[in-house]
């Protein structure tokens, strides 16, 4: 009981920054104005893919009709459920508070929620429950229905994580030398597939979307997205830990190696258990695949990507961190709790875990773990743009800030995409030409906007916020004769095209 309370305290302390009134928009997680939500259709929109019912329709009901703010809705339906589901489902699988702690607070889990990948995170949270239901699949019809419904929810949140969970379930039967209960498992998968037809059918019919997805899924993209090294994946250490800056890979932190040491010790403690063998294999398989095209045997992942049907869904190999996370949340408690009733080892592990995750406990994580108030000026900008009845676009240099308003009537364009330029100076150089003025007018661009980079994500030099870039951009646009600066905004540079 003491361990359970301590575990809950550690989890609560790590996620404490989410208990705030500020919006958690960061990384991939958006900020939605009510005007944006009002534009959501009642039918699933293909732009939201599988997430439509939960992200689109539920948000529309709760924000537009019930009147709950987005900042509250995101917490009630995404962030708090992640903590609760992740803890509950991993506790159900592992029957251990330590197992739930490992699954809910490992660096992979923290980095995906910190980066705002909440669909992936929620599917990850449900995975232990799905795995448990499949490996103890009952043939009772009610149970098959419930399993199918839970799998359907996981597929709706992220089908890739659902596929990995199913593969792990099948592997369990292979390890246990048990016959796979094809009928109940097949029925559950059928139910899940049927309930997800709302996105499967439109996606199959929409050739452009699939072509786009396939176009992005190249061996080059696999090589690019293979950030983690094998020592990191086997230690359940996310390569971006703790800063979570995309592409910035940190050196190996050796203290994380205590995690696989404790986990694989279970092979000596419970050496006759096929469950331990299965989860050890799952950890090794996941660690090997999560490193993607990195050594050792870097060509294996590329071969799988090229030859195994469906593997193109895993151009980002980090999804395979699911397996070490699942495995270690089972194996570590087996090692630690070998002596039932002894509290010394669990307490020692809690201390070790707290030391390993010290950045999280000290509040040094970024992204959704660093909520900030939305600058009032962005509401002012929305109130300035939204009432204008005519159709026009806004051009954001270098790109739209997360609180920047964009709607179907007034869509935004990111200069870095339009000009295919990564440097702000290159964008400015192109904007100053007369040809660009004509092109922008033809594209119905009415305003050129330089965002107020309140989160320090856009004006970067060596991945760090650089205010001089912001001031230079404002200054360089101010001297363009065909741009008229609107003075009612202080931090956001709004220029009307004359």
Partner 1 sequence: MKAQDILFFVVLVLLVILRKPRYFVVAGLACLAFSIPLFAMWVFFTAEHLIWYAAAFFFIFVLFSLLQSHKVQ
User: ∠ at Cα 385 (379, 391), nearest 5°?
Assistant: 150
Q: Which is nearer to partner 1, 250 or 370 (CB)?
A: 250
Nearer to partner 1, 172 or 419 (CB): 172
Compare residues 280 and 399 and give the one whose CB is closer to partner 1.
280
CB of 281 to partner 1, least distance (A): 5
Q: Using the minimum distance from each CB to partner 1, give the nearer residue, 215 or 296.
A: 296
Q: Shortest approach of partner 1 to residue 404 CB, angstroms?
A: 42
Minimum Å gap between C-beta 307 and partner 1 is 22
Are 274 and 175 a contacting pair, CB within 8 Å? yes
At its nearest, how many Å lie between partner 1 and the CB of residue 230? Answer: 6
User: Least distance to partner 1 from the beta carbon of 256, Å?
Assistant: 9
Contact 148, 140 (CB under 8 A): no
The minimum distance between CB 334 and partner 1, in angstroms, equals 13
- Pick 331 or 413: Cβ nearer partner 1: 331
Query: CB of 1: closest distance to partner 1 in angstroms?
Result: 31
* Closer residue to partner 1, CB minimum distance, 177 or 479: 177
Binding residues (CB under 8 A) for partner 1: these are 175, 177, 229-231, 234, 251-255, 257-258, 260-261, 264-265, 267-268, 271-274, 277, 280-281, 284, 287-288, 296
Residue 394 corresponds to which tokens in the numbers above?
A: 């806004």
For partner 1, the closer CB: 77 or 172: 172
Minimum distance, C-beta of residue 375 to partner 1, in the bound complex (Å): 42
Please name the helix (run of DSSP H) or strand (run of DSSP E) that holds residue 283, with its range, or none. Answer: helix 274-290
Q: By C-beta, is 294 or 437 nearer to partner 1?
A: 294
- CA–CA separation, 249 and 229 (whole Å): 9
Q: What is the CA radius of gyration of the chain?
A: 25
Contact 429, 476 (CB under 8 A): no
């Amino acid at each position: 009981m003491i361990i359970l309370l301590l575990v809950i305290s550690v989890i609560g302390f790590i996620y404490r920054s989410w208990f705030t009134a500020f919006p958690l928009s960061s990384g991939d997680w958006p900020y939605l104005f009510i005007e944006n939500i009002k534009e959501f259709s009642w039918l699933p929109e293909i732009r939201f893919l599988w997430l439509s019912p939960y992200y689109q329709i539920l948000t529309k009901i709760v924000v537009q009709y019930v009147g709950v703010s987005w900042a509250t809705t995101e917490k009630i339906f995404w962030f708090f459920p992640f903590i609760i589901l992740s803890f509950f489902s991993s506790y159900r699988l592992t029957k251990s508070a330590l197992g739930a702690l490992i699954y809910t607070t490992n660096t992979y889990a923290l980095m995906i929620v910190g980066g705002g990948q909440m669909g992936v995170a929620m599917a990850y949270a449900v995975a232990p429950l799905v795995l448990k239901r499949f490996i103890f699949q009952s043939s009772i019809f009610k149970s098959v229905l419930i399993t199918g419904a839970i799998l359907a929810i996981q597929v709706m949140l992220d089908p890739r994580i659902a596929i990995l969970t199913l593969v792990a379930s099948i592997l369990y039967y292979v390890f246990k030398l048990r016959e796979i209960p094809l009928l109940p498992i097949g029925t559950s998968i059928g139910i899940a597939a049927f309930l997800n037809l709302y996105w499967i059918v439109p996606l199959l019919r929409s050739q452009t979307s699939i072509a786009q997805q396939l176009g992005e899924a190249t061996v080059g993209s696999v090589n690019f997205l293979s950030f983690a090294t094998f020592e990191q994946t086997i230690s359940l250490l996310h390569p971006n830990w703790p800063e979570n800056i995309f592409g910035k890979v940190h050196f190996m932190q050796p203290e994380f190696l205590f995690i696989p040491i404790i986990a694989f010790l279970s092979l000596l403690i419970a050496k006759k258990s096929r469950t331990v063998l299965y989860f050890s294999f799952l950890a090794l398989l996941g660690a090997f695949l999560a490193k993607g095209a990195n050594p050792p045997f870097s060509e294996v992942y590329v071969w799988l990507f090229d030859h195994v049907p469906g593997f193109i869904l895993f151009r980002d190999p980090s999804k395979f961190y699911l397996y070490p996370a699942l495995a270690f949340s089972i194996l570590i408690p087996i090692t630690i709790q070998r002596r039932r009733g002894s509290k010394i080892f669990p307490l020692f592990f809690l201390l070790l875990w707290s030391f390993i995750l010290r950045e999280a406990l000290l509040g040094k994580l970024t992204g959704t773990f660093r909520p900030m108030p939305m600058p009032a000026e962005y509401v002012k900008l929305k109130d300035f743009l939204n009432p204008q009845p005519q159709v026009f676009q806004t051009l954001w240099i270098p790109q739209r800030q997360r609180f920047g308003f964009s709607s179907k009537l007034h869509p935004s364009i990111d200069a870095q995409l339009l000009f295919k330029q990564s440097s702000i100076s290159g964008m400015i150089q192109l904007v100053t030409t007369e040809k660009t003025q004509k092109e922008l007018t033809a594209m119905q661009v009415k305003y050129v906007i330089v965002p107020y980079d309140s989160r320090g994500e856009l004006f970067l030099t060596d991945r760090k916020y650089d205010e001089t870039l912001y001031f230079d951009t404002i200054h360089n646009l101010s001297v363009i004769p065909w741009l008229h600066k609107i003075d009612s905004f202080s931090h956001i540079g709004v220029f009307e095209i004359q």
